[in-house]
Amino acid sequence: MLVYTLKRLGLALLVTLAVSMLSFALLYLSGDPAAAIAGETANAEDIEAVRIYYGFDRPWVVQYGEWMFNAIRGDFGTSYYFKLPVSQLVAERLSVTMLLGVCGISFALLTAVPLGVAAAVRPNSIIDRIALFLSVMGQAMPSFWFGLVLIVLFSIKLRILPPSGSDNWQNFVMPTIVLGYYAMPAIMRLTRAGMLDVLGADYVRTARAKGAGEFRVMFKHALRNAIIPVVSLAAVQMGFMLGGSIVVESIFALHGAGYLAWESIGRNDLPTVQALILVFSMFYIVFTFLSDLLNAWLDPRMRVG
């Protein structure tokens, strides 16, 4: 298990390094950064002055090394737009996004897993049909549309939830539902398929033959084996929620990191975009690493490095 953990950790670090190089390269992929900062009215001399001021005239390797060294210390430079330290900016916005992401994935898991198990226990029953209907709806409705429907219903007609903002918990109810419902169908269908598969397994019959009750058979013997692919999927979706909830954050005007990324791209605020890309990628890397560890704990056969 230790060897496995170290190997996974090494892999995660390598991916981090690759991602950091890519997000650094972004600076140059989107054109001349000095020209972008100097603005459209600047002449060649101004651009040159900006280039020297920001250090864009130095070799790439030196610039990357400096950027990476500072990033490790939590210094991502200064936002071109806000003239504030990027790290401070990102940290503020990230707390909103993380809260939303955790709520969203919890909502998705807490609805999808029990529903998936119930659907698998009685295939083609009314519960299975309802679960199928809910998952097809979730797949088919775009988040922005579903979000707007909720706003119309709960904020305008019923007036029980605020349509926008991020000041108190009521602001998070609708975004959580929209974001969670987006992730729910895949988790639910995967849980159902996994359970159906496992419930026909010989070891489930063995558990029954031992005299184990239905609840124990379902949750101790079957679900632990069926949930393994779900863990990997949920990890990816969690990464997506922490990085990609731009649409949901925009609709509900939640000032989160996704919203900041979207704004910063429009403003050509490259240090902020770089920092956000690195942070979002780190989420994926960390969650993948954690899901690998969790899966190895669930299934001993995976522990072999």
Binding site for other proteins (CB under 8 A): 201-203, 205-213, 221, 224-225, 298-301
Distance, CA of 142 to CA of 282 (rounded, Å) = 27
CB 248 within 8 A of CB 143: yes
What is the CB-side half-sphere exposure of residue 211 using CA atoms within 13 A? 0
What sections of 30-56 are H helices per DSSP?
33-38, 44-54
Minimum distance of other proteins from residue 195's CB (angstroms): 14
Supply 34's token pair: 């000095």
Minimum distance of other proteins from residue 122's CB (angstroms): 10
Minimum distance of other proteins from residue 205's CB (angstroms): 6
CB 256 within 8 A of CB 263: no
Which of 7, 210 has the CB closer to other proteins?
210
Which of 29, 209 has the CB closer to other proteins?
209
Which of 40, 202 has the CB closer to other proteins?
202
Which residue is listed with tokens 């898991």? 109
Distance, CA of 96 to CA of 104 (rounded, Å) = 12
Which of 211, 266 has the CB closer to other proteins?
211
Which of 150, 222 has the CB closer to other proteins?
222
Distance, CA of 202 to CA of 215 (rounded, Å) = 17
For residue 217, give Cα distances in angstroms to 205, 214, 228, 250: 9, 5, 17, 44
Which of 65, 123 has the CB closer to other proteins?
123
**139: Cβ contacts below 8 Å, ≥ 6 apart:** 185
Which of 3, 52 has the CB closer to other proteins?
3
Which of 208, 255 has the CB closer to other proteins?
208
Minimum distance of other proteins from residue 300's CB (angstroms): 4
- Name residue 78's beta-bridge partners: 85
Positive or negative torsion for Cα 101, 103, 108, 114: positive
Minimum distance of other proteins from residue 126's CB (angstroms): 16
Distance, CA of 291 to CA of 236 (rounded, Å) = 9
Nearest to 120 by CA among 184, 17, 201, 194: 194
Minimum distance of other proteins from residue 9's CB (angstroms): 23
Minimum distance of other proteins from residue 266's CB (angstroms): 49
Minimum distance of other proteins from residue 229's CB (angstroms): 14
